[in-house]
Amino acid sequence: MKRALNFSPGPAVLPMSVLEETSQAVLDYNGLGMSVMEMSHRSKEYDALFVETQNDTLKLMGLSPDEYTVLFLGGGASLQFIMLPMNFLHKKADYVNTGEWASKAIKEAQFVGECNVVASSKEANFTYIPKDIKFNADADYIHITTNNTIYGTAYKNLPDTGSVPLVSDMSSDIFSRPRDFSRFSLIYAGAQKNIGPAGVTLVVIKKSFLDTAKTTAPTMLKYKTHVDAGSMFNTPPCLATYVVGRTLKWIMAQGLEAVEANNIKKANYLYDIFDAYPDFYKGTVKDKADRSLMNITWNLPTPELEDKFIKEAKAKYGMLNLKGHRSVGGMRASVYNACPMDWVQTLAKFMEEFMKENK
């Protein structure tokens, strides 16, 4: 099968080996004579793969199951935007606004209580990550978005939050690099960018933080409901969680250090072109230190050239989904963990060709 060179920001490319394993499991899981989609989520076979996926998550993060618990829930990161404050916003919370998804998280938190936007890059169209932020020492938690898919910015260094619990939306860069995950009290991530398909959301919670949760949230919106039931209060996203499990095995086989090195190399193929031809390929991120490894964003001299670039990239090399988000326009290449190196090399080659023909 000929694969399209898919630079989609999500749902995004998955490892070919994971797709192959999944195709078999969809037909017959481990010789049971039934699909992984047909198994009871309460069967011993499905429970074993589910628990293994939870354990692998903590292994990759270097976290102890005595201190942290793992959930696989529905609703995407968008549900977490409201679920988080409904559980943990007692008096006030601090949020850093670095883009579209952070803005949506802020909007939902404001329905619940006092939400302080302590820093924002909105005035510069979210082209940088705010630094040297003064947080409120009495905040219930501090929320950041580690990578911004639309604007192509990312945190290289975590902010110092003191003793205040740090919470993060890591949907688009989780497991793209090693991190000190113990710095976080809660992490959530929609799977469809870096660890699996759409339909399942990973939530990792520090147990001591969970102990501070409010008891007034509706049953399905209480983290404790799902923790107490081992993520099985209701039927979880069974197939999607299976794919996450296989993707985690693929990441573990490489190690996060190797994954990061590969991601840096891929991103630099494109960033080096921006730096070599800044009048033609105009990178949108203001500070190079804030450049994302996952979502590379740029503009061409005119919208007409951008349309031409997109059409020729598809016609010549089968490259898809290079158009920027509708809210900002321009161009975007999402090069998540599973994006092959040769795809990025092909894109870089085409960018050189296109520049020479159209400058």
* Tens digit of each residue's pLDDT (9 = 90 or more) over 260-276: 999 999 999 999 999 99
Which residue's entry shows tokens 């992490």? 187
Would you name the residues annotated as active-site residues? Answer: 101, 169, 193
Q: Which uninterrupted H or E stretch holds 68?
A: strand 68-73
Q: How far is CA 357 from the centre of its chain?
A: 36
What's the pLDDT at 327?
A: 82
Rounded to the nearest 5 degrees, what angle is found at the Cα of 200, between the Cα atoms of 69 and 52?
45
- C-alpha distance from residue 96 to each of 85, 116, 155, 181, 213 (Å): 15, 9, 12, 19, 22
Which tokens go with 242? 């299976």
C-alpha 190, offset from chain centre:
6
Which tokens is 40 given? 């009871």
pLDDT in tens, 159-202: 999 999 999 999 999 999 999 999 999 999 999 999 999 999 99
Alpha-helical runs (H) found in the chain: 16-27, 44-61, 76-88, 100-109, 207-210, 223-228, 238-254, 256-276, 303-317, 341-358
Specify if 4 maps to a domain.
no
Residue 325 in any domain: the answer is: yes
Please count the structural domains in the chain.
2
Provide the percentage of residues in the chain whose pLDDT is more than 90. 97
Residues 248, 300 share a domain:
no
User: Is residue 108 domain-shared with residue 73, that is, in the same domain?
Assistant: yes
Of the residues 254, 278, 296, which one is the last residue of a structural domain?
254
Residue at which a domain ends, from 225, 254, 283? 254
Asked if residue 5 is part of any domain, the answer here is no
Q: What is the pTM (predicted TM-score) of this model?
A: 0.96
Residue type, 225: T
Q: Is residue 10 part of a domain?
A: no
Reply yes or no on whether the pLDDT at 135 is more than 90.
Answer: yes
pLDDT tens-place string over residues 290-306: 999 999 999 999 999 99
Averaged pLDDT for residues 42-66: 96
- Sign of the C-alpha dihedral computed for residues 12, 13, 17 and 20 taken in this order: positive
Q: Is residue 6 part of a domain?
A: no
Host domain of residue 336 = 255-358
Whether 242 is covered by a domain: the verdict is: yes
- Domain CATH for 347: 3.90.1150.10
pLDDT at 122 over 90: yes
Contacts of 345 (CB under 8 A, 6+ apart): 269
Please give the pLDDT value at position 329: 86
Inform me whether the pLDDT recorded for 1 exceeds 80.
no
Q: Point out the domain boundary residue: 234, 254, 274.
A: 254
